[in-house]
Chains A and B, each alone.
Chain A
Amino acid sequence: MTERLLQLRGVTKHYGPVRANHDISLHVDRGEVVALLGENGAGKSTLVKQIFGLVTPDAGEIVVKGDTRPISGPSDAIARGIGMVHQHFQLVPVMTVTENIVLGHEPISGGRVDLPAARARVQELSDRYGLAVDPDAEIADLPVGTQQRVEILKALSRDVDLLILDEPTAVLTPQETDELLRVMRELAESGTSVVFITHKLREVLAAADRVYVLRGGQQVGEVATADVDEAGLAELMVGRSVVLRVEKDPAAPGEEVLAVEGLHVADDRGLPAVADLSLSVRAGEIVGLAGVEGNGQRELVEAIAGMRRPTGGRIHLRGDGTTQGGASGAVGEVDLTRARPDRARAAGVGHVPEDRERHGLVGSFSIADNLVLNRFTHRLFARRGVRNRAAIDDNATRLREQFDIRSAGIHTRAGALSGGNKQKIVVARELSARPRLLMAAQPTRGVDVGSIEFIHSQVVAARDAGAGVLLVSAELDEVLSLSDRVLVIHDGHIVAEVDPATIDRAEIGRLMAGGRRDAQALADEWGAGGEKQGPAH
């Protein structure tokens, strides 16, 4: 049981001045579940990419089963018994489950790929590990939870000794998470070691034997889970004791600012994503939208922001001048159902998009230009089509100070900044327009703890100043700690409204899964463990 599968000695990887990994040493024995714990940007993903051969270390040694030769690439890692389940699924959407699983080690017969044999092998694996998949389904048609099962089967199909999972629970419901943790334990008991990355303390304590804590690219602790509790882990992870609650006063909701009635929205493939959805947000309250990703949240937010045209229903923005919207434009009721993004914004909608790299920023533009990205025609920043450089720079200088954007100056390329600072640019821009309605989608994804606290406090401040806030987050803890009211979304519908102060975690998990009966037992078990701790971040 003590065979040493993996040993890292002094592994170091720098990207320019950024120390992604510095002098990291750790080991994994056969049959263990080891967790790599750390907040976003701590260097966890970079570390496992080096173990899997995707990134070459600058210095240090990775020893696999006593073999000290450097790992030259994924195929070398696979050949040495290492499998990996990636954070962003590495599946070809237009191919079938079987084709994806056999890619790279296809069975051949008579010069052709032997698909019947491949299909049989997938079925056999699926049965053996209790991970149900349809071998002939096309990946694009599968929900994320099932895609992850395919990813795991793909890794296991290579006869692995060591399975690495990079943030595997980020896209799962609490129930699916428990199912995955069970599979990880079973794998370990049958002799396959598991290394998984997470920033959720609960998962570490539930599934891991040992945990390595990473902070700022360095390994800052190694403990057996039997000897530690959540508070201890949290302090190791962040380097100080963590504020578990968002400081905020009770909400004082005013008039309704957003009214969505019977909304229908289609996704990129033209399939219904939001169906007959109604909701309302009032001034001075934060409404959280809890749900597993891919249940229509993105389409809903994009429809309200004017980026996606609804196929039915109505979107109205209201305001009576007592809210802050006055600075942004028209006061009174505005029909935004078929509005374009510029008109929605002019009416008082602020939007922190879920994918800031894709939508929220232009990486090759300066911070100053990004801070006016969607307001460049505003009379403050342009007159008769000529841009007012001085005003744009003043705006940038002020917001950089106010929102603590750390950069060499306001003319630095936005693309060169860290995730936290990029997100602060987006938040600063959206809040500085003093919106009547602020929509924040995944506002703290990939952001360090310090920036998370800052962004949360800014969202609360906007609420206190009278804005209505619609918060969408895949982090249940974030939704529960920040919101005044929580709506649960499943399959494009609002399935429940709950009070974040009193809701039972098991209950909300059950609702997020669509209230399925079969999830009940797991939810109860998981809920019992979850009661004991508050939201971590």
Chain B
Amino acid sequence: MNDTSTTDRPGPSPAGPPREQGATSPENRRGVLDVLARFQGVLVPIVALLVAFAIGAALIRLQGVNPAFAYTTLFRDALLTESGLLRTLQKATPLILSGLAVVIGLRVGLFNIGAQGQLLWGAIGAAYVGVHLAGAPAVVILPAALLAGIACGAVWAGIAGLLKAYRGVHEVISTIMLNSVAAGVIDWLVSFPLKEPGQSIPRSSAIDPAAELSNLGFVPVGFVVALALAGLIAWILRRTTAGFRFDTVGANRDAAHYAGIRIPLVVTAAMCASGALAGLGGAIETLGVVGRYETGSSAGLGFDGITIALLARANPLATIPAALLVGVLRSGAAGLQFETGIQPEVVDVLLAVTLLLVSIPVLARVLFGRRARDGVSLTSGWGS
């Protein structure tokens, strides 16, 4: 794109070539900014986060709590105790996976808002196998339960993929609708057919102990799996023909058609892959954390995936730090509420402000002026 910043300035520009504008600032300062501008992808989220923490501090102060104490409590609770660290990593695991799910979609130009519903299906699918294959050895039941979660998530997302590829239904609407349908159907499942006998609250029976995912010290196995998958997906996108297909469809559909790529197939495959990742996140949540399916236990994990993918700018490896950040905040929020009475929803505000500042191009422009790159444009309109 040409220099667009000059065209949106209304009215006449003063005579004289615009190049001289840059020359008025000191030479060395420009050099530093040029170098910094190259690291925009990292610097913008950090500055955004700092601003969000400042705003959060003001809100905490309004509630009569010392912000420094609140933040210390939050981070100590999430990172500096062994149980806290375990909880943080447990929280980060489905977040990495749902973040990856959204990233895969974005690379093909699809905005999968439905990681939440896919994750729920993964959780219930794993729970079903974990309960009904009880008695089978761990080498059978554990992989079977994980695969069930993956398959459930993939099928659920595949519905949106097919609707997009063959009926032109925009995935943002379809996945939101599917989220609601998933929540309702699964609520019915654990209220009636899969309900734990004798219980009044809607939840499934506990899974067979053989299906439980253990921890390696304070590192959950699921977390290691999530890290490995982030690496694998980064490799697939960079180095394989499948990744090239994904990126080509995402960057230019017409050129993809010209190049002989079957777009409906790629769109459906990407949605299925996306749903499989989210489903795996749900399965790990069931098998490694909750031990059964319980309504409300995975609330919001899928939506945090959107935040994480956008913070990571659709880069699979960057979902790891982004998910860890969200995991720390979510994990520490409970301790924060216990010690200070601040509502855990303060984390939603922190994340919302960060996401806002990362997404709108204003922060990059304030920081880097004309060197700022334009924001990501990854999604498609109604038509295609």
| B-binding residues in A (CB < 8 A) | 12, 14-16, 55-60, 70, 72, 305-307, 340-343, 345, 351, 353, 355, 358-365, 369, 373-374, 376-377, 382, 385-387, 389
Which B residues touch A387, using CB under 8 A? Answer: 239-241, 244
| Residue contact B260 to A342, C-beta cutoff 8 Å | yes
Per-residue 0/1 for B77-110: is the Cβ within 8 Å of any A Cβ (1 yes, 0 no)? 0000000000000000000000000000000000
Within 8 A of A (CB), among B1-47: 2-3, 6-7, 9-13, 15-19
Interface segment among B48-56, B251-259, B316-324: the answer is B251-259
Which B residues touch A358, using CB under 8 A? Answer: 252, 254-255
Q: Quick one: closest A residue to B12, CB to CB?
A: A70
| A-binding residues in B (CB < 8 A) | 2-3, 6-7, 9-13, 15-19, 239-242, 244, 247-248, 251-252, 254-255, 257-262
| Residue contact B239 to A386, C-beta cutoff 8 Å | yes
The 8 Å CB contact of A56, one of B13, B252, B254, B257, is: B13
Can you list 29 residue pairs at the A/B interface with Cβ under 8 Å?
Answer: A14-B19, A16-B2, A56-B13, A72-B12, A305-B258, A342-B259, A342-B261, A343-B260, A351-B258, A358-B252, A358-B254, A362-B252, A362-B255, A363-B251, A364-B251, A364-B252, A365-B247, A365-B248, A365-B251, A373-B248, A373-B255, A373-B258, A376-B241, A376-B259, A382-B241, A385-B240, A386-B239, A387-B240, A387-B244
| Residue contact A385 to B241, C-beta cutoff 8 Å | yes
Q: Closest CB-CB distance, B366 to chain A, in whole Å?
A: 22
Q: Quick one: closest A residue to B15, CB to CB?
A: A59
Q: Closest CB-CB distance, B374 to chain A, in whole Å?
A: 12
Which B residues touch A365, using CB under 8 A? Answer: 247-248, 251
Q: A362-B255, A382-B241, A385-B241 are in contact. Are A58 and B13 (CB under 8 A)?
A: yes
Q: A16-B2, A58-B17, A385-B241 are in contact. Are A363 and B10 (CB under 8 A)?
A: no
Among B6, B7, B244, residue most surrounded by chain A Cβ atoms (within 10 Å)? B244
| Residue contact B248 to A15, C-beta cutoff 8 Å | no
The 8 Å CB contact of A369, one of B3, B10, B240, B244, is: B244
Within the assembled complex, what's the spacing in Å between the Cα atoms of A58 and B3? 12
Among A12, A58, A72, A351, residue most surrounded by chain B Cβ atoms (within 10 Å)? A58
Q: A70-B12, A369-B244, A376-B244 are in contact. Are A359 and B17 (CB under 8 A)?
A: no
Q: Closest CB-CB distance, B340 to chain A, in whole Å?
A: 47
Within the assembled complex, what's the spacing in Å between the Cα atoms of A365 and B247? 9
The 8 Å CB contact of A12, one of B3, B17, B254, is: B17
Q: Closest CB-CB distance, A378 to chain B, in whole Å?
A: 10
Which B residues touch A16, using CB under 8 A? Answer: 2-3
Within the assembled complex, what's the spacing in Å between the Cα atoms of A353 and B258? 9
Known: A359-B255, A359-B257, A374-B259. 15 other contacts (CB 8 A): A14-B17, A15-B3, A70-B11, A72-B10, A72-B11, A307-B258, A342-B259, A342-B260, A353-B258, A358-B252, A362-B251, A362-B252, A376-B241, A377-B241, A382-B241
Q: A14-B17, A70-B12, A382-B241 are in contact. Are A374 and B258 (CB under 8 A)?
A: yes
Which B residues touch A361, using CB under 8 A? Answer: 252, 255
Q: Closest CB-CB distance, A11 to chain B, in whole Å?
A: 11
Which A residues touch B262, using CB under 8 A? Answer: 340
Q: Quick one: closest B residue to A415, CB to CB?
A: B1
Which B residues touch A389, using CB under 8 A? Answer: 239
Q: A58-B17, A59-B15, A59-B16 are in contact. Are A360 and B255 (CB under 8 A)?
A: yes
Q: Closest CB-CB distance, A536 to chain B, in whole Å?
A: 30
Which B residues touch A363, using CB under 8 A? Answer: 251-252
Q: Closest CB-CB distance, A58 to chain B, in whole Å?
A: 5
Q: Closest CB-CB distance, B16 to chain A, in whole Å?
A: 6
Which B residues touch A343, using CB under 8 A? Answer: 260
Which A residues touch B258, using CB under 8 A? Answer: 305, 307, 341, 351, 353, 359-360, 373-374
Question: Nearest 6 CB-CB pairs, A to B?
Answer: A342-B260, A70-B12, A341-B260, A374-B259, A359-B258, A362-B252
Q: Quick one: closest B residue to A69, CB to CB?
A: B12
Within the assembled complex, what's the spacing in Å between the Cα atoms of A373 and B255? 8
Which A residues touch B255, using CB under 8 A? Answer: 358-362, 373
Q: A70-B12, A387-B240 are in contact. Are A307 and B257 (CB under 8 A)?
A: yes
Within the assembled complex, what's the spacing in Å between the Cα atoms of A254 and B2? 47
Among B6, B10, B11, B241, residue most surrounded by chain A Cβ atoms (within 10 Å)? B241
| Residue contact A359 to B254, C-beta cutoff 8 Å | yes
Within the assembled complex, what's the spacing in Å between the Cα atoms of A70 and B13? 9
| Residue contact A15 to B2, C-beta cutoff 8 Å | yes
Which B residues touch A70, using CB under 8 A? Answer: 11-12
Q: Closest CB-CB distance, A114 to chain B, in whole Å?
A: 31
Within the assembled complex, what's the spacing in Å between the Cα atoms of A60 and B9? 18
Which A residues touch B6, using CB under 8 A? Answer: 56
The 8 Å CB contact of B18, one of A55, A58, A362, A385, is: A58
Q: Closest CB-CB distance, A303 to chain B, in whole Å?
A: 13
Which B residues touch A55, using CB under 8 A? Answer: 7
Which A residues touch B260, using CB under 8 A? Answer: 306, 340-343, 345, 374
Q: Closest CB-CB distance, A319 to chain B, in whole Å?
A: 20
Q: Closest CB-CB distance, A381 to chain B, in whole Å?
A: 9
Q: Closest CB-CB distance, B312 to chain A, in whole Å?
A: 18
Which B residues touch A364, using CB under 8 A? Answer: 251-252
Within the assembled complex, what's the spacing in Å between the Cα atoms of A75 and B17? 25
Q: Closest CB-CB distance, B251 to chain A, in whole Å?
A: 5
| Residue contact A341 to B259, C-beta cutoff 8 Å | yes
Q: Closest CB-CB distance, B370 to chain A, in whole Å?
A: 11
Which B residues touch A58, using CB under 8 A? Answer: 13, 16-18
Within the assembled complex, what's the spacing in Å between the Cα atoms of A58 and B13? 7
Q: Quick one: closest B residue to A302, CB to CB?
A: B258
Which A residues touch B261, using CB under 8 A? Answer: 342
Which B residues touch A12, using CB under 8 A? Answer: 17
Which A residues touch B240, using CB under 8 A? Answer: 382, 385-387
Which A residues touch B259, using CB under 8 A? Answer: 341-342, 373-374, 376
Q: Closest CB-CB distance, B109 to chain A, in whole Å?
A: 12
Within the assembled complex, what's the spacing in Å between the Cα atoms of A14 and B258? 34
Q: Quick one: closest B residue to A353, CB to CB?
A: B258
Q: Closest CB-CB distance, B174 to chain A, in whole Å?
A: 25
Q: Quick one: closest A residue to B259, CB to CB?
A: A374
Which A residues touch B19, using CB under 8 A? Answer: 14
Q: Closest CB-CB distance, A410 to chain B, in whole Å?
A: 16
Among B240, B247, B255, residue most surrounded by chain A Cβ atoms (within 10 Å)? B255
Within the assembled complex, what's the spacing in Å between the Cα atoms of A387 and B18? 44
Within the assembled complex, what's the spacing in Å between the Cα atoms of A111 and B248? 49
Q: Quick one: closest B residue to A340, CB to CB?
A: B260
Within the assembled complex, what's the spacing in Å between the Cα atoms of A60 and B15? 7
Among A12, A364, A387, residue most surrounded by chain B Cβ atoms (within 10 Å)? A387
Within the assembled complex, what's the spacing in Å between the Cα atoms of A60 and B248? 43
Among A16, A345, A365, residue most surrounded by chain B Cβ atoms (within 10 Å)? A365
Which B residues touch A72, using CB under 8 A? Answer: 10-12
Q: Closest CB-CB distance, B382 to chain A, in whole Å?
A: 15
Q: Quick one: closest B residue to A372, CB to CB?
A: B244
Q: Closest CB-CB distance, A274 to chain B, in whole Å?
A: 19
Within the assembled complex, what's the spacing in Å between the Cα atoms of A236 and B241? 49
Within the assembled complex, what's the spacing in Å between the Cα atoms of A72 and B9? 10
